[in-house]
Amino acid sequence: MDINQQFTPGQVVYMIIRNPHAQDVANVQQAAVVQNPDNPDELALFLHETYFPLSEEFAIFETEEEAEQTFCEAFGSPEDSDYYG
């Protein structure tokens, strides 16, 4: 199924996104599914006042719980690390 058919404009989704300035930092962020302003036939993710084409390149989840669970499986939980601060 085409990813553009899985979501609808106005839907709130959750995605795992990496910090572009520190590739070892990732977190779960809330994003909105919107019509792509550059191509009205496609959908986009609106996050941090930026449009991202809706594609298979992003880990997108319908619930925050799904996103958090996948995040913990991929990166571990904060309690598992030696981070102090």
Assigned domain for 81 exists: no
Domain span holding position 40:
3-66
Assigned domain for 45 exists: yes
Assigned domain for 79 exists: no
Overall domain count for the chain: 1
Could you identify the residue written with the tokens 């709130």?
A: 12
Assigned domain for 44 exists: yes
Instruction: Give, in degrees to the nearest 5, the angle at Cα 68 between 64 and 70.
Output: 120
Q: Collapsing DSSP states into helix, strand and coil, what is residue 22?
A: strand
- Concatenate the DSSP letters of all residues of 25-84 into one string: EEEEEEEEEEEETTEEEEEEEEETTEEEE--TTSEEESSHHHHHHHHHHHH--GGGS---
Assigned domain for 74 exists: no
pLDDT digits (tens, 9 = 90+) for 27-71: 899 999 999 999 989 999 999 899 998 888 889 999 999 999 999
Assigned domain for 76 exists: no
Assigned domain for 29 exists: yes
Residues 6+ apart with CB under 8 A from 24: none
Assigned domain for 85 exists: no
What band does 85 get if pLDDT is binned at 50, 70 and 90? very low
